[in-house]
Structure 1
Amino acid sequence: MRRSFKFSALLALLAAFVLATPALAEVKTKEIQYQDGDTTLTGLLAWDDAAEGKRPGVLVVHEWWGLNDSAKSRAVKLAEEGYVAFALDMYGDGKVTDHAEQAGEWATQIASNIELWTKRARLGLEVLMAQPEVVAGEAAAIGYCFGGSTVMQMAYGGLPVKAVASFHGSLPAAPESVTSVAPRVFVAHGRDDAFIPAEQITAFQDALDRTDAKWEMTIYSGARHGFTNPDAASYGIENLAYDETADKHSWAAMLRLFEEVF
């Protein structure tokens, strides 16, 4: 009897422990199709299915290669951090390439039309904010390369985000028509990025000061363009290289910013 009682008590204790232990993260993903006129866009939503309650949303904007695995993996990482993330599609029709000439053509088609550029970003943001897991009004946007430039255009265009983070973006300066920038701005830049001349960095920073933006920029020594993408060197372009230290440090800085704004 005594042994049976002790065993029953142990089972009860274990059951209580299991019930009191938080559920482990269980990141789910699903593709979501949405439209821009006749163009079908397909993004990837990522969220922790084990989390309770609503959470802030983070939009992820891909490099000029299109919505590839690199951008999708960032959405998953954000979900692991407790956010609802949506990796949007800026090109549509499943466009992804490994060829710089083609990527540059697609990116230029979008970037040469500010109205279209901002619209595509806004459509992705609307998909994110429509998710039932996302807290109304609690959004940020991050982007890589072409995506970094895109999130800056979101900030300049007054899209409703509390923060933007640009990783190895082209650093477009705010036009004179923009008199204020509301979101917090974080910029991660590679010191050895040969694509961005020094005068372009200065013009970008001066424009942020002119608009009274709250911004910070970290420049990583030795880092080149594409430093967050582990596959950067595979494209065969000398200025593209992964930098593990810059990648990890810039990601941590972004998370600290999100902790402050949300």
Structure 2
Amino acid sequence: MTTITTRTVEYPADGLTMIGHLALPAGVERRPAVLLGPEGMGLSDVERRRADALAELGYVALAFDLHGGRYLAEPEEMLARCLPLLADPERMRGIGRAALDVLCGESQTDPGRIAAVGYGTGGAVALELGRDGVGLRAIGTVNALTTGRPGEAARIRCPVWAGVGSEDPIMPPAQRDAFVAEMRAADVDWRLTVYGGALHAFHHPPVDHPTVPGVGHHPRHARRAWRDVLELLAECLTVAE
């Protein structure tokens, strides 16, 4: 692992001033980079720590914002913002592209080696970037088996890995099937990992505020899902020693 530096970055998207968290490895050489998207509640220390961990492994990492610097702890407020967002691919793509521009603007970022990894709403944003034809090297999602507009998955030009809990009521078997059908029809290089006994947001540590039904932390699968993300990145983004 390597010494890292971090800083807050502000940028416009979705009519808001977004506040992201950028983590950088030591040195000045170009590095592979990861765009990291949060759950629907928004950017928190969970994603900041993940970005830092990725930087320690040699990646440039940007944990991007969804809500203009706000963390939406109340389920009603979170759903009121996220449900319309999830129904609007152009808004999701705009949020993702704005963050991607920030990441690509960093001097250490190798623009030819970028992956997008997201959780929940952040994962949906990552998938929409792929459906929009962005030249990513990999897409990884957890809790985000969202499907896109007909035919647009054919624009995805990289491997896609998705993880979901077997008991997730927000991403039930019918949603899994629809996602798989979309990936197959588009001839995408895809993988789906189902974590037995896990609920929605199983990867996220317990929070001290109300959540939507069907959410629950599963420590063992959370560790496994993180390893799966790292394996995806290691496969698709070669980190120089």
TM-score (ref. length: structure 1) = 0.84
Equivalent position of 2:146 in the other structure: 172
Could you say what secondary structure the match of 1:235 adopts?
A: coil
Equivalent position of 1:26 in the other structure: 3
Query: In structure 2, what is the Cα distance between the partners aligned to 1:142 and 1:258?
Result: 9
Report which stretch shifted further, 133-142 or 102-111.
102-111
- Structure 1 position 231, deviation (Å): 2.0
Would you say the 8 A contact 2:118–2:124 is kept in 1?
yes
- Structure 1 position 39, deviation (Å): 2.3
Structure with greater helix share of residues:
1
**Alpha-carbon displacement from aligned partner over 1:203-250 (angstroms, at most 9, x marks no partner):** 110110000100111111111111111125753544111112111111
Could you say what secondary structure the match of 1:227 adopts?
A: coil
The CA RMSD measured in Å over matched residues stands at 1.8
Equivalent position of 2:167 in the other structure: 192
Could you say what secondary structure the match of 1:64 adopts?
A: coil
**Alpha-carbon displacement from aligned partner over 1:38-77 (angstroms, at most 9, x marks no partner):** 521111101122x452210100111111111122121111
| Alpha-carbon distance change, 37 to 235 in structure 1, aligned in 2, over 3 angstroms | closer
Larger Rg: 1
TM-score (ref. length: structure 2) = 0.91
1:46 aligns with 2:46: no
Structure 1 stretches of 5 or more lacking a match? Answer: 1-23
Would you say the 8 A contact 1:181–1:208 is kept in 2?
no
- Structure 1 position 143, deviation (Å): 0.6
Among 79, 83, 90, the alignment partner of 1:108 is 83
1:205 aligns with 2:180: yes
Larger relative contact order (CA 8 Å, sep ≥ 6): 2
**Alpha-carbon displacement from aligned partner over 1:65-102 (angstroms, at most 9, x marks no partner):** 1111122121111112210100111222x221211111
- Structure 1 position 104, deviation (Å): 0.8
Among 126, 129, 135, the alignment partner of 2:104 is 129
Query: In structure 1, what is the Cα distance between the partners aligned to 2:183 and 2:233?
Result: 20
Query: In structure 2, what is the Cα distance between the partners aligned to 1:102 and 1:234?
Result: 13
**Alpha-carbon displacement from aligned partner over 1:94-150 (angstroms, at most 9, x marks no partner):** 221211111111112322322121011001011001111111211001111111222
| Alpha-carbon distance change, 117 to 108 in structure 1, aligned in 2, over 3 angstroms | same
Equivalent position of 1:75 in the other structure: 51
Equivalent position of 1:148 in the other structure: 123
Would you say the 8 A contact 2:14–2:95 is kept in 1?
no
Would you say the 8 A contact 2:166–2:195 is kept in 1?
yes
Would you say the 8 A contact 2:164–2:193 is kept in 1?
yes
Would you say the 8 A contact 2:14–2:94 is kept in 1?
no
- Structure 1 position 259, deviation (Å): 1.6
- Structure 1 position 181, deviation (Å): 2.1
Structure 2 stretches of 5 or more lacking a match? Answer: none
Mapping for residues 214-253 of structure 1, pairs under 5 Å: 214-232=189-207, 234-253=209-228
Would you say the 8 A contact 2:74–2:211 is kept in 1?
no
Among 79, 95, 99, the alignment partner of 2:70 is 95
Would you say the 8 A contact 2:130–2:155 is kept in 1?
no
Could you say what secondary structure the match of 1:58 adopts?
A: strand
Aligned length: 236
Could you say what secondary structure the match of 2:139 adopts?
A: strand
